[in-house]
Homo-oligomer: A and B are copies of this chain.
Amino acid sequence: MPTLRPSDCRNRLLAAVTAEDFSRLAPHLERVPLAFRQVLIEADRPIPHAFFPEEGLVSLIADTGEGRVEVGLTGFEGLVGVPLLLGTDRTPHVALVQAEGTALRIEAAALGDALAASASLRSVLGRYVQSLIVQVGQTVYANTDHTIETRLARWILMTQDRLRRDDLPLTHDFMATMLGVRRPGVTTALHILEGARLIQARRGCITVLDRTRLAECAGDSYGPAEAEYERLLGRA
C-alpha cells in the first residue's frame, strides 16, 4: 500500500498536523468504510483503533443500561477514540456510526507511539479534546434549558456541519433517541421548523432550507462549541 499523503485525506485533524507528525502517522493509517449503525467503540472494552473520519457521522453515547443519550458528535473534523489520547484504552461511552462514510483508522499502539514522540501532535489532538469537552458542555446546556424545537435545530446544524450536504438522512425515531425525547415530540418540532420554512422534511430525509435562521432558532445552544473548534484548529 502506498503511504498516504496529506492531500489524500479529508480529515481536518490530519490536515492540521505538521508534516513531520503526519509522516509519523501515515504508515499506520488505513482507510476503512464506516457502515450505518456500526459500533466503533464498545462500552468498557479495549479500544483497538482510533478513527479519523473523512465522511459520515459518529455519535458518542452515554449508555447506562437503561437510557441512552447522545453526548457528542464527531465527523471529518474530529477523532473517535479520545480515551486513547488520555492514557486509557476504554470508556463507558459508545461510538456508533450514524451516517455511513469512510475513516482513516490507526491502531491504538501506533497512535500511542506517535503521541509519545511528538509534543506538537499531542497539542493538536489535545485541542480537539478541549473542543469536544465544550461540545458536551453545550449539550448539557441545550438539554437542560431548551425546548425540543431548539435542541432539534442545534442537532440538525451540527449534523449538517459534519455531512456537508443539505439533505440529511434522518428518521424521526432516530433523532428522538439522540435527543433523548419521544418520537412524536420530534415530529411536532419538525412541523414547526418546516412551517417556518427553515427545513423541509420528507420520509427519512431532512433538507436544510435556511441555515441562518435555523441557527437563530437554536439560539446560544449552537455556536460556542463550533467557535471553540475554529479558534483551536481553524485555518490550519
Contacts and interface: CB of A to CB of B under 8 A. Distances in A.
Nearest to A92: B224
Nearest to A130: B86
Interface string A137-171: 11111011100000000000000000000000000
A192 B182 CA distance: 27
A62 B92 contact: no
Q: How many copies does the complex hold?
A: 2
A232 interface: yes
A64 B141 contact: yes
A129 B86 contact: yes
A108 interface: no
For chain A, which range describes its interface: under 10, 10 to 19, 20 to 34, or 35 or more residues? 35 or more
A8 interface: no
B180 A145 contact: yes
A228 interface: yes
A127 interface: yes
Contacts of A119: 116
Contacts of A83: 130
A195 interface: no
Given A66-B220, A180-B145, A220-B64, A93 B126 contact: no
A126 to B, nearest CB: 4
A129 B88 CA distance: 11
Interface string A64-91: 1111010100000000001101111001
Nearest to A112: B119
Interface string A174-205: 00000110000000000000000000000000
